[in-house]
Copies of this chain bind each other. A is one copy, B any other.
Amino acid sequence: MVVNVSLAVSFKCLECGKEYPLTEFVYSCRACSSKGMFRGSLDIEYDLEEAKSRLSKETLENRKTPFWKYKELLPIADESHIVTLGEGNTQLIKADKLGSSIGASNLFLKNETRNPTWSFKDRVFTVLVSKAVEYGYKTIGLASTGNAAAAASAYAAKAGIDCYIFVSETTSTAKITQMLMHQAKVVKIKGGLTEAGSVSTEACKQFNWFHVTTGKSMQPFSTEGPKTLAYEIAEQLNWEIPDNIIVPVGGGDTFGGIWKGFKDLKEIGLTNKLPRMVLAEAEGAPLITKAFREKKQYYQVPPIEPHTIAAGIKVGIITGPWPLIALNESHGLAETVSDDEIVEAEKLMAVKEALFSEPASAAPVAVLKKLLDNGKIGRDESNVCIITGSGLKDIDPLEKYLEAPPMIKPDIRALKALLEQQKQ
């Protein structure tokens, strides 16, 4: 007999509270989803009372397997279904030099660039692909061109299942290459990401593929992996919860997942404080900040055409309730920053902490600087910025922000002349 290692008990609608058994997969609440697009998001409920008796600080600290050591709080019942590439347990960098240059006395960077596919999405896809296996799906499908596509194709390869990825017609060859190397089935869709998303949704429905497009209300498990960011941060800080967690937000599943994780820890009794959740958006993709400030529901904000160099947070729709839930419950902060501020922060992080991140990952650092400067965050508060992905993922947009290197003849005198000139 298989032992159920997970304490997950049901799907629960975030709008009406209706519960559904986990035995059969449902994308969204049947009643609420009819109210409109992205409505009727389901959350995963756990038996946290039971977790209290099973999980102590010592139990968790003594387990050596990263990520899946939190198996009771993850939704995979049968351990043999777990598809892992050794994700998680990423560094928490004490960033004193970066901190002092922006005026924060207590700053940490959670370095998600050191995951197997070099981004935080590995936490999402170890859960989603394991769950696909557990439900018996032979194929997953999604629309993405970024970190999610890379992670999905890698985990599907590891599981030996098919992975269909729908991309816009303008997607660069470099981005597609990583997917193709993992033998994902990539299909270009004429038009943009919206068209790719529609085909993906429809294909998953018609062909019974497991739909894993993240940042959408329709994949209830996509907040589960990111909870482990909260668990790891707490453990790495010796169970002292920092004042602020600052996260770059596209869809907001990760933002919501981290918040859910911190709530779990407090409810289980492993910690006694909750952090404030701070949401970082680009000025050209500011919808959640706008909705939060205007006290609107996520579905009341009309789509826009987003523009920012930070691909990971270039999103023009709000695809679910999670970011606003986390902001409201944590009495959080939402802030936007310009592309110039993002690149400035990316450079600062690369110089002060030698950490080269993708532009989206620099947004939290830029937001933190802004909130320190305007006094919304105190200089002695403790802060953790989530650094979501490697700088190698998104290099091209940086070119125009950097000065092209000088070219000289292969002659030491030419170099001496150059150095003299640079001194002046």
Contact = CB atoms under 8 A, between A and B. Distances in A.
A344 to B, nearest CB: 12
A304 interface: no
A303 interface: no
B191 A410 contact: yes
Nearest to A403: B180
A123 to B, nearest CB: 15
A86 interface: yes
A31 interface: no
A354 B418 contact: no
B351 A188 contact: no
A176 interface: yes
A410 B199 contact: yes
Given A118-B390, A174-B396, A188 B408 contact: yes
A321 B115 CA distance: 36
A410 B346 CA distance: 36
Contacts of A174: 395-396
Contacts of A410: 189-191, 195-196, 198-199
Interface in A257-294: none
B402 A181 contact: yes
A189 B407 contact: yes
A354 B391 contact: no
A130 B176 CA distance: 39
B356 A407 contact: no
A85 interface: yes
Interface string A164-191: 0001010001101110111100111111
Nearest to A350: B181
A110 interface: no
A322 interface: no
Given A177-B398, A351-B182, A203 B412 contact: yes
Contact of A407 (B169, B346, B355, B409): B169
Interface residues of A, number: 69
Contact of A354 (B93, B116, B188, B398): B116
Number of copies: 2
A211 interface: no
A329 interface: no
Interface stretch (A22-30, A69-77, A154-162, A309-317): A154-162
A1 to B, nearest CB: 26
Interface in A198-242: 198-199, 202-203, 206
Given A354-B85, A392-B392, A405-B176, A181 B347 contact: yes
Contacts of A196: 410
A154 B354 contact: yes
A305 interface: no
A16 interface: no
Contacts of A369: none
B158 A402 contact: no
Interface string A351-366: 1111110000000000
Contact of A206 (B350, B393, B412): B412
A348 B396 CA distance: 28
B405 A187 contact: yes
B183 A351 contact: yes
A353 B158 contact: yes
A183 to B, nearest CB: 5
Closest 9 interchain pairs by CB?
A195-B410, A186-B405, A188-B407, A392-B392, A158-B354, A181-B350, A154-B354, A157-B354, A202-B412
